Structure 1
């Protein structure tokens, strides 16, 4: 066996990209190339085998992972063996690949990569200049082989940041799901909303289906045009058709959605009303091309209700402790920050301390401003765990935060920030961790949490 353990395997998967760590990379349309991934999947027969199952590909700027997880759980409860690919991971890389909620075992992860490595090496040997093998493409190949072995009939895959030049989009998905599309990753995707929408619309395949939550007018125009050009059926879910919040519960929320009536969703984020609505539509579309209970049956309704109650998507509006109350969410946009606060409306106990870790390619000033009126103190932090995610310099971040709040400090890492925040909140207060996903993963490690099964 070429690889001793998961760490050894991960080093190999990222070796091609790491050779370019000091190379300035431009927009995705120039820097990214899915050809190596397509060659690998074709040479190993994985692309041909991929046509035997139903795929949904999920893109957007916020809620991709939640929508992926909810859609997969609904399909599972509808009786389908369901695969899932998400990124980034929180604690272990293998979290990115799951079947029926279970993370791929380490032994199988290593074994499959060992089988793929000779072909990866052959493809890499032909690289010139700044060509590289996308780690995401290798993860996708491992996932497809694992799905074959586990006889997966439906799979839901989350793209990385864009779509048109994303390795995930190589699969023959007959369904595309669009969560809210916002201004993000402007260096890689472009500095306008319509350009970002163009990147994300690239996941749509000819003669397929696409669903979207409400979007800005220019976003809908771009996605609609892409669908029409490919003879694909596109529908956006009107705000009046969205799930409604009935009440919050200690376990999550009670929502109301169409013929399903009132039902439990085991998530706390108010944004998951949109995600759940989109997931119900998506799962229904995929189920229609698979064998199983009829859509019109009571059994179908009960499966959807059971699936929503069974969803577990860690690190998204998750309560980590009671005293002080510590809430964790990947809220790195202004919209997400507002959703986090809205999700806890009436439940914030003073003093409220915010730990904020927003990357430089997001509107970090706007995020600070969104939290400022609702908190007693702001603690800024960052992380070097993912070299592809950059944060504003501490001096710049402090200046921006102090412009909207007079109690601001910087902590060099999340552990220090959390220690300061918990002491400041005392037993009866609240700590809000609004941080990017690698920092969400660090928080999970600090609390000793892992996610073999979700």
Structure 2
């Protein structure tokens, strides 16, 4: 398919990034640092929060809506032509079509490098057709167990599948069970592994993206940048500092534009590791006030028990809601509320099926208590709620996840 569109695997260097947690933030950080160093950089992230154009950008600008439409038509027409000529050609799925159009668009835009975030896993992910210069595994934890396997070793095997001969491999914080699997994969590919602990440059203490866990993501990003330095890229320390001080990612411990009280935080944490990292930021989220009112909703396949057990200690009230997701099953708000009530949570448990109604109710309660609001449990929920501040149409038109609306300015 790519050959029919005249795409060459050597068109530009690729950094391929996977991980249970931190892959999106790390991908955005690597792209921001390279951009600050003067390179033209393509970034492909997954999933998007609100609109499809969020998945692709060059520099600071998301793909133009008309350009995405044109490239989509180009890929669709080429695909249909292949099917007509050769009936044995397998039809592209949605994910496969996305990576094809991503690679073709980056080539069209003459990027100096592309940062490609894996959708899920790695070994059988649609993005694993690339030949990376650097392969990155940010972390290995328990998530997507229905497709990746129940154990850490199983999940690590999927992540390690992005390791390719000729690539430098960067590996972040991983448990011993995962580390052994990754080492075996690297040995089979005859590649060297670099750990962030061996870096010569440490992350700056002040990052634009809040949260102590972002220090670890920044460390992995810097290790990736150092590896690129051995492949012909020139990245001064000032570019690292500038990139990390400017990079941000929507829906990751994101404070909504302040329009009075209460303060609303949105975080797409959807597995036990991410929720644990989020709860470690309770002082930032709560500020000088009491524990926040938490709105939570998630997909049906998640480990609800672990997520609820970690949220309970940092919540004054929990409002169970239900994100609307096309093609996936959400956990019903009733079931979620029942599981919260069955846990050790001693606060009030409320039920609001509609996420916007849940947010409104949370704000009313939080304002009366002098507390903040935290919305979490799902990237899909984060995207739905975020639309209140950042409308979909404006994201597309202004080509940024943070469009300027009237006199408002993002924090």
Does the TM-score normalized on the shorter chain lie above 0.5? yes
Match of 2:333 among 386, 389, 394: 394
1:132 is displaced (CA, Å) by 4.8
Q: Would you say the 8 A contact 1:368–1:401 is kept in 2?
A: yes
Per the alignment, residue 280 of structure 2 pairs with: 342
Per the alignment, residue 304 of structure 2 pairs with: 364
Give deviations 1:373-397, integer Å, cap 9, x for gaps: 2211111112232323x33333432
Alignment of 1:436-447 (within 5 A): 436-447=378-389
Look up the SS of the partner of 1:265 in the other structure: coil
Matched, 1:453 2:400: yes
Matched, 1:173 2:173: no
Hey, what's the Cα distance between the residues in 1 that align with 2:96 and 2:268?
A: 24
Per the alignment, residue 266 of structure 2 pairs with: 328
Hey, what's the Cα distance between the residues in 2 that align with 1:385 and 1:124?
A: 31
Matched, 1:41 2:2: yes
Larger mean CA deviation between 50-59 and 341-350 belongs to 341-350
Match of 1:374 among 307, 314, 334: 314
Hey, what's the Cα distance between the residues in 2 that align with 1:282 and 1:237?
A: 9
Per the alignment, residue 422 of structure 1 pairs with: 363
Look up the SS of the partner of 1:133 in the other structure: coil
Hey, what's the Cα distance between the residues in 1 that align with 2:272 and 2:74?
A: 44
CA RMSD of aligned residues (A): 2.2
Hey, what's the Cα distance between the residues in 2 that align with 1:351 and 1:259?
A: 37
Q: What are the ranges of 5 or more consecutive residues in structure 1 without an aligned counterpart? A: 1-39, 243-257, 294-299
Hey, what's the Cα distance between the residues in 1 that align with 2:143 and 2:73?
A: 36
Hey, what's the Cα distance between the residues in 2 that align with 1:132 and 1:341?
A: 43
Q: 1:143 to 1:283 in 2, by over 3 A?
A: same
Matched, 1:268 2:200: no
1:237 is displaced (CA, Å) by 3.2
Q: What are the ranges of 5 or more consecutive residues in structure 2 without an aligned counterpart? A: 402-411
Per the alignment, residue 318 of structure 1 pairs with: 254
1:133 is displaced (CA, Å) by 2.0
Q: Would you say the 8 A contact 1:124–1:133 is kept in 2?
A: no
Q: Would you say the 8 A contact 1:326–1:431 is kept in 2?
A: yes
Q: Would you say the 8 A contact 1:58–1:157 is kept in 2?
A: yes
Larger mean CA deviation between 270-279 and 321-330 belongs to 321-330
Hey, what's the Cα distance between the residues in 2 that align with 1:268 and 1:80?
A: 26
Alignment of 1:227-238 (within 5 A): 227-238=186-197
Q: 1:291 to 1:188 in 2, by over 3 A?
A: closer
Hey, what's the Cα distance between the residues in 1 that align with 2:148 and 2:133?
A: 24
Give deviations 1:164-214, integer Å, cap 9, x for gaps: 111111111121111221111111111111111111111111121111111
- How many residues in Structure 1 have an aligned counterpart in Structure 2? 388
Larger mean CA deviation between 50-59 and 109-118 belongs to 109-118
Per the alignment, residue 351 of structure 2 pairs with: 410
Match of 1:91 among 46, 50, 58: 50
Per the alignment, residue 135 of structure 1 pairs with: 94
Hey, what's the Cα distance between the residues in 2 that align with 1:154 and 1:303?
A: 16
Hey, what's the Cα distance between the residues in 2 that align with 1:422 and 1:127?
A: 56
Q: Would you say the 8 A contact 1:58–1:158 is kept in 2?
A: yes
Q: Would you say the 8 A contact 1:263–1:305 is kept in 2?
A: no
Hey, what's the Cα distance between the residues in 2 that align with 1:104 and 1:442?
A: 21
Look up the SS of the partner of 2:57 in the other structure: strand
Q: 1:441 to 1:261 in 2, by over 3 A?
A: closer
Q: Would you say the 8 A contact 2:142–2:151 is kept in 1?
A: yes
Hey, what's the Cα distance between the residues in 2 that align with 1:196 and 1:324?
A: 39
Q: 1:231 to 1:259 in 2, by over 3 A?
A: closer
Q: Would you say the 8 A contact 1:88–1:438 is kept in 2?
A: no
1:435 is displaced (CA, Å) by 2.8
Give deviations 1:231-272, integer Å, cap 9, x for gaps: 11113334xx69xxxxxxxxxxxxxxx645745310112221
Give deviations 1:266-320, integer Å, cap 9, x for gaps: 0112221111110111122124323435xxxxxx111111111110211111111
Per the alignment, residue 431 of structure 1 pairs with: 373
Matched, 1:282 2:224: yes
Q: 1:441 to 1:56 in 2, by over 3 A?
A: same
Per the alignment, residue 404 of structure 2 pairs with: none
1:51 is displaced (CA, Å) by 1.0
Q: Would you say the 8 A contact 2:298–2:381 is kept in 1?
A: no
Hey, what's the Cα distance between the residues in 2 that align with 1:78 and 1:113?
A: 31
